[in-house]
């Protein structure tokens, strides 16, 4: 979180919109202070001398947002201490669904550790999370999964449980979910289902309630985002006004003129006490204006930290269950078991409406932070219901005609009336410093585009993580399948030109881009919108499409310099097409680094390359250009002046010599002529 400066004079000039926005957000600083005190006071020690901290996880998309959540170890201890409570039973089913509903294969390494072979990194992350919480998959055969569970802690004897895998309904891009039917050691049959929240939500037993809560959550989130967008627009206009006022002040103040010796740092009089204090007093208001303007530019708009009862707040922390997360107490070391019992209010766990609202509120906040979310559901089946469904599913899997469609229909029959188990969120771990580097480049008025081959959902999540997409951004998705691409482009251009959008992002896929390139009119509109937008995300783009976009921008915006940065062989065409190409050496190989103008090891080094070394190189180039210019101007002038001087000097000497020589020669000639003239007659 950026530190707020309290030093100096506050600026007097404020626009009406910005003042009203700041009045409506007056609680933010107070809440930050309270949360900061709570966060500092959360550090205390147990009786054994072990320090207990709050959650240290920090979102890369919104690093300024506090995460006052409990530790996972606290939840595990509560489940181990009270295994027969309703919360413990539900939490155990959720952990079981993470440990069972997957297709990972465990492998025991020579050192005794278990590694997993997974079809996707998401499944690998979920199985590892279940392992860290005490549900370790140690073996998977054709029809069984063996779990090693430590119900009473890591120091106790583990328990091996064998679950029989009856059926697995695979994940597909159309279904957007997968399910597994297992038989518990006590012979009960249960189906676990995980998938996209929008898909699994419709198959819950309380689907109507869930839809109602989602609508309310989205309404609250939209109000908060609209308020953030209005504040961002007002702050942008205030920054423009302040910048203009600073320019006018610097132009009219005599102390800012270059001719004044009082502002020249080389003058010894500046170091004098009296003159220095006079200049400091004269320049203090301008310095305060510049300090606050730069500070506000660096601080992003985020009003999610306001009080819990605000309608614009998304109540994410588990403290919303009216329980403080191990609140501040001077006698913290003596609480241990008593406070451990107060972590969960079992009376609230029974309230299905509250639990559903909190779960989908977390999903909404996770998605806002750029995380990939999954929703889990489960349902117990009796033997007759399962056997009747098994016949239908077996007929679908052995069908020779339209097998995939029949399997999907069979899955629809059993994936109904599910109980809500929980939700997970997975973060695409970026390189260190990527979001901060993008923020610095954006503040330097450099527009960032992301051209990737990933699918749209993944690209948007990465955009949130690296802060190309903000919480209040207006995201315009151009999709040729939905139609009306030209109308969406025109509407977005009108909104941006009218100043209704605080931060605009355009998302387009490769097929839509191919359709746009076929027509000249829509192509012109698209590039006009792309130039006006703050960021553009192009997903499912081929290497030729990446290079084509860079080439089109080079042609349409003449006075700009394009830079392309990539780490793989599919980025070579884009790197070669830009004015400056930069390759990143990494897991993708060295092809991009070998064909680029510059090579770096990590993306965060781009800021130093551009803003430090680039500026130094720019200054050196300017000095060299000016020096070469004056050298080429001065040397001919000196040569001409020297030539003229030498010519004039030498011509005067020759003239004098010619006169003297002429007097000596002319007399004999005339005499001889006269002699000849006289001798002729």
Spatial CA neighbour of 444 closest among 563, 297, 233, 293: 297
19-33, 111-125, 450-464, 480-494: least confident range:
19-33
Phi/psi for 178 (5° steps) reads -140, 155
Sheet holding 159-169, edge to edge: 135-140, 144-149, 159-169, 177-183, 189-195, 372-381, 419-426
| Whether pLDDT at 431 is above 90 | no
The residue among 224, 233, 203, 221 whose CA lies nearest residue 378 is: 203
Instruction: Kindly indicate the confidence band of residue 445, based on its pLDDT and cuts at 50, 70 and 90.
Output: confident
Q: What is the C-alpha end-to-end distance of the chain, expressed in Å?
A: 122
CB atoms within 10 A of CB 524: 13
Distance CA 133, CA 150 (A): 9
Phi-psi region at 86: left, alpha or beta (left = phi > 0; alpha = psi -120 to 50)? alpha
pLDDT tens for 480-514 read 888 889 999 999 999 999 888 888 999 999 999 99
**pLDDT over 90 (residue 655):** no
Residue with tokens 């669904």: 97
Bridge partners for 420 per DSSP? 377
| Residue 231: CB atoms within 10 Å | 22
pLDDT at 303: 55
Average pLDDT over residues 419-426: 92
191: tokens are: 């189906």
Would you state the pLDDT for residue 341?
Answer: 61
pLDDT digits (tens, 9 = 90+) for 67-84: 555 677 788 888 888 888
Phi/psi class of residue 370: alpha, beta or left (left: φ > 0; alpha: ψ in -120 to 50)? left
Let me know if domain 434-615 sits in CATH 1.10.3720.10. no
Top pLDDT among 326 and 393 is at: 393
**Rounded average pLDDT over 515-534:** 91
What DSSP line would sit under 504-554, residue for residue?
Answer: EEEEEEHHHHHHHHH-HHHHHHHHHHHHHSSEEEEES--HHHHHHHHHHHH
263-267, 502-506, 536-540, 609-613: range with lowest mean pLDDT: 263-267
Judged against a pLDDT cut of 50, whether residue 19 lies above it is answered with no
- In the chain, the percentage of residues whose pLDDT exceeds 90 is 32
Q: Which is higher by pLDDT, 295 or 45?
A: 295
3-state secondary structure of 299: coil
Lowest mean pLDDT among 202-211, 316-325, 416-425, 633-642: 316-325
Residue 462 confidence (pLDDT): 87
Q: Is 193 helix (H, G, I), strand (E, B) or coil?
A: strand
Q: Of 662, 127, 629, 657, nearest to 424 (Cα)?
A: 127
Task: Using the predicted structure, report yes or no on whether residue 338 has a pLDDT greater than 60.
Answer: no
Q: Yes or no: say if 26 and 306 are a contact pair by the CB < 8 Å rule.
A: no
* Mean pLDDT of all residues in 331-343: 53
Query: How many whole angstroms separate alpha carbon 465 and alpha carbon 477?
Result: 18
Residue 35 scores a pLDDT above 60? no
Higher-pLDDT residue of 225 and 468 is: 468
| Stretch 102-123: mean pLDDT | 88
- Helix 520-532 / helix 485-497 crossing angle, nearest 10 deg: 40
Residues 6+ apart with CB under 8 A from 549: 449, 451, 513, 538, 541, 574
Q: Are strands 448-451 and 535-539 parallel, antiparallel or unpaired?
A: parallel
Q: Give which of 423, 425, 460 is closest to 200, Cα–Cα.
A: 423
Q: How many Cβ atoms are within 10 Å of 151's Cβ, its own excluded?
A: 13
| Mean pLDDT, range 315-340, rounded to an integer | 43
> What integer is the mean pLDDT of 300-323?
44
Confidence category of residue 599, pLDDT binned at 50, 70, 90: very high
Every domain of the chain and the residues it spans: 434-615, 618-653
Task: Determine the Cα angle at 451 with ends 445 and 455, to 5°.
Answer: 135
Q: 560 is written with which tokens?
A: 């700009």
Position 650 scores a pLDDT of 65
Q: What angle do CA 314, 319, 322 make, to 5 degrees?
A: 105
Give, as one character, the DSSP assignment of residue 418. Answer: B
Count of other CB atoms within 10 angstroms of residue 416: 15
The 3-state DSSP class for residue 192 equals: strand
Question: For 8-49, what is the HEC assignment?
Answer: CCCCCCCCHHHHHHHHHCCHHHHHHHHHHHHHHHCCEECCCC
What is the tally of helices (H) and strands (E) in the chain?
Answer: 23, 18
Nearest Cα residue to 101 out of 152, 135, 150: 135
Kindly give the pairing relationship between strand 159-169 and strand 144-149.
antiparallel
| Pairwise CA distance, residues 478 & 461, whole Å | 17
Confidence of residue 27 (pLDDT cuts 50, 70, 90): very low
Confidence of residue 241 (pLDDT cuts 50, 70, 90): low
Average pLDDT, the chain: 76
**Selection from 163, 189, 195, 193 nearest residue 176 by Cα:** 195
pLDDT band at 383 (very low <50, low <70, confident <90, very high): very high
Q: What is the mean pLDDT of residues 514-540?
A: 91
pLDDT at residue number 384: 93
Q: Phi and psi dihedrals of 564, rounded to 5?
A: -120, 135
Question: So what's the pLDDT on residue 268?
Answer: 40
Mean pLDDT throughout 400-426?
91
Average pLDDT of the residues in 398-415: 90
Angstrom distance (rounded) from CA 164 to CA 141: 10
- Phi and psi dihedrals of 103, rounded to 5? -125, 25
The pLDDT-based confidence of 295 (bands split at 50, 70, 90) is low
Quick one: pLDDT band at residue 47, thresholds 50, 70, 90? very low
pLDDT tens track for 147-200: 998 877 667 788 899 999 999 999 888 888 999 999 999 999 999 999 988 899
- Supply the DSSP string of 600-666, one letter for each residue: ESSTTHHHIIIIIIHHHHHHHHHHHHHHHHHHHHHHHHHHHHHHHHHHHHHHHHHHHHHHHHHHHHH
């Amino acid at each position: 979180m950026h530190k707020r400066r309290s030093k100096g004079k506050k600026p007097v000039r404020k626009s009406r919109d910005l003042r009203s926005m700041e009045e409506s957000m007056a609680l933010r600083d107070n809440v930050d202070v309270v949360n900061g005190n709570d966060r500092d006071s959360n550090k205390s020690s147990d009786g054994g001398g072990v320090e207990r901290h709050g959650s240290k996880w920090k979102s890369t998309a919104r690093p300024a947002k506090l995460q006052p959540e409990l530790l996972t170890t606290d939840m595990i201890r509560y489940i181990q201490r009270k295994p027969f409570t309703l919360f413990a039973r539900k939490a155990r089913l959720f952990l079981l669904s993470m440990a069972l509903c997957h297709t990972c294969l465990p492998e025991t390494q020579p050192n005794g550790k278990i590694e997993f072979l997974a079809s996707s990194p998401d499944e690998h992350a979920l199985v590892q999370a279940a392992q860290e919480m005490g549900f370790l998959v140690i073996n998977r055969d054709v029809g069984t999964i063996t779990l090693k569970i430590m119900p009473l802690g890591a120091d106790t004897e583990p328990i091996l449980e064998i679950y029989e895998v009856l059926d697995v309904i695979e994940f597909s891009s159309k279904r957007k979910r997968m399910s597994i039917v297992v038989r518990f050691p006590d012979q009960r049959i249960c189906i676990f289902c995980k998938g996209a929240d929008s898909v699994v939500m419709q198959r819950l037993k309380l689907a109507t309630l869930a839809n109602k809560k989602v609508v309310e959550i989205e309404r609250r989130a939209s109000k908060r985002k609209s308020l953030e967008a209005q504040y961002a627009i007002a702050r942008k206009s205030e920054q423009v006004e302040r910048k203009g006022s600073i320019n006018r002040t610097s132009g009219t103040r005599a102390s800012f003129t270059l001719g004044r010796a009082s502002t020249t740092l080389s003058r010894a009089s500046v170091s004098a006490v009296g003159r220095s204090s006079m200049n400091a007093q004269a320049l203090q208001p301008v310095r305060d204006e510049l300090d606050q303007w730069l500070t506000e530019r660096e601080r992003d708009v985020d009003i999610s930290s306001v009080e819990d009862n605000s309608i614009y707040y998304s109540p994410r922390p588990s403290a919303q269950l009216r329980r403080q997360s191990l609140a501040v107490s001077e006698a913290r070391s003596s609480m241990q078991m008593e406070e451990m019992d107060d972590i969960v209010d079992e009376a609230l766990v029974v309230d299905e409406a509250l639990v559903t609202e909190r779960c989908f509120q977390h999903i909404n906040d996770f998605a806002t932070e750029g995380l990939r979310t999954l929703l889990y559901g489960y349902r117990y089946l009796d033997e007759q219901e399962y056997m009747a469904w098994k016949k239908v599913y077996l007929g679908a899997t052995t069908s020779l005609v339209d097998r995939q469609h029949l399997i999907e229909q069979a899955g629809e029959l059993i994936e109904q009336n599910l109980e809500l188990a929980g939700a997970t969120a997975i973060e695409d771990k970026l390189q260190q410093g990527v979001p901060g580097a993008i923020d610095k480049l954006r503040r330097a008025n450099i527009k960032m585009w992301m051209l990737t081959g990933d699918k749209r959902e993944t690209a948007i999540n990465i955009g949130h993580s690296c802060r190309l997409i903000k919480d209040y951004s207006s995201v315009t998705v151009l999709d040729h399948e939905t139609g009306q691409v030209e109308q969406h482009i025109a509407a977005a251009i009108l909104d941006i030109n009218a100043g209704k959008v605080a931060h605009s992002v355009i998302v387009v896929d490769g097929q839509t881009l191919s359709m746009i390139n076929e027509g000249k009119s829509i192509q012109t509109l698209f590039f006009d919108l792309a130039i006006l937008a703050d960021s553009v995300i192009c997903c499912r783009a081929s290497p030729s499409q990446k290079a084509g976009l860079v080439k089109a921008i080079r042609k349409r915006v003449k006075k700009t310099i394009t830079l392309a940065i990539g780490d793989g062989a599919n980025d070579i065409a884009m790197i070669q097409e830009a004015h400056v190409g930069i390759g990143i050496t990494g897991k993708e190989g060295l092809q991009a680094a070998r064909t680029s103008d510059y090579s770096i090891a990590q993306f965060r080094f781009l800021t130093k390359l551009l803003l430090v070394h680039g500026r130094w190189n720019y200054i050196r180039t300017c000095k060299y250009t000016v020096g070469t210019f004056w050298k080429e101007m001065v040397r001919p002038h000196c040569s001409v002046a020297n030539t003229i001087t030498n010519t004039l000097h030498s011509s005067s000497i020759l003239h004098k010599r010619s006169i003297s020589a002429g007097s000596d020669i002319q007399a004999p000639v005339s005499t001889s002529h006269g002699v000849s003239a006289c001798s002729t007659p």
